[in-house]
């Protein structure tokens, strides 16, 4: 946004144009004028611009201001914004400025998985594998690897196939067996 456009947008924002507040805020944030940009985006969020609230959560999360991000991410996650649910899952899994809580981490990762996050699906599978916040459950672990696979995760497909082969009694050749077959 050019300086003249910024001035026009600021004036429109001050007159109540919430879209202008959002746009000038994003522009200023992109130009490394974080504080000013955040204030305009916050104003747009306060007056109901949904994307502005999502942008605030993402901005705070990426700048590692987890407590500031949390309320915006919660609202965004409730609306089905994948990155917000993933962010909350990671905050609870790792205890980032909040009490570590595997149950909440799994809940948020499950929500992210349902809206298309292959990484979140894998995180849920790992939680069922290790019994983090849940009882270990091989079937659920396998189910989440399958979901990750359907979302084009190579790691999810590999883990699902390996578990499915084990369930069918198909033995995977060991690395040593694979190497021997290459040289024979």
How far apart, in whole angstroms, are the C-alpha atoms of residue 50 and residue 19?
10
Q: Which domains does the chain have, with CATH numbers?
A: 80-183 (1.25.40.10)
Q: Is 153 helix (H, G, I), strand (E, B) or coil?
A: coil
Q: What's the whole-model pTM score?
A: 0.84
pLDDT > 80? residue 178: no
Tokens 């060991």, residue located: 174
Which of 86, 71, 31 has its CA nearest to residue 40? 31
How far apart, in whole angstroms, are the C-alpha atoms of residue 72 and residue 20?
20
pLDDT digits (tens, 9 = 90+) for 35-55: 889 999 999 999 989 899 999
pLDDT digits (tens, 9 = 90+) for 121-148: 999 999 999 999 999 999 999 999 999 9
In this structure, what are the phi and psi dihedrals at residue 162, rounded to the nearest 5 degrees? -60, -45
> What residues contact residue 31 under an 8 Å CB cut-off, 6+ apart?
37
How far apart, in whole angstroms, are the C-alpha atoms of residue 14 and residue 79?
28
Within 10 angstroms of residue 152's Cβ, the number of other Cβ atoms is 9
């Amino acid at each position: 946004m050019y300086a003249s456009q910024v001035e026009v947008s600021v004036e429109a924002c001050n007159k109540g144009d919430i879209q202008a507040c959002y746009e000038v805020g994003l522009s200023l944030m992109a130009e490394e004028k974080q504080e000013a940009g955040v204030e305009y985006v916050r104003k747009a969020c306060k007056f109901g611009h949904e994307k502005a609230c999502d942008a605030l959560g993402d901005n705070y999360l990426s700048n590692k201001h987890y407590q500031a991000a949390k309320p915006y991410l919660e609202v965004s996650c409730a609306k089905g914004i994948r990155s917000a649910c993933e962010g909350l899952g990671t905050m609870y899994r790792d205890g980032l400025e909040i009490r570590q809580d595997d149950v909440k981490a799994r809940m948020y990762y499950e929500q992210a998985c349902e809206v298309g996050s292959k990484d979140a699906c894998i995180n849920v599978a790992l939680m069922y594998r290790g019994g983090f916040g849940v009882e270990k459950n091989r079937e659920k672990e396998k189910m989440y690897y399958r979901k990750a696979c359907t979302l084009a995760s190579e790691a999810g497909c590999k883990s699902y196939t390996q578990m499915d082969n084990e369930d069918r009694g198909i033995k995977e050749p060991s690395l040593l067996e694979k190497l021997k077959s290459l040289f024979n």
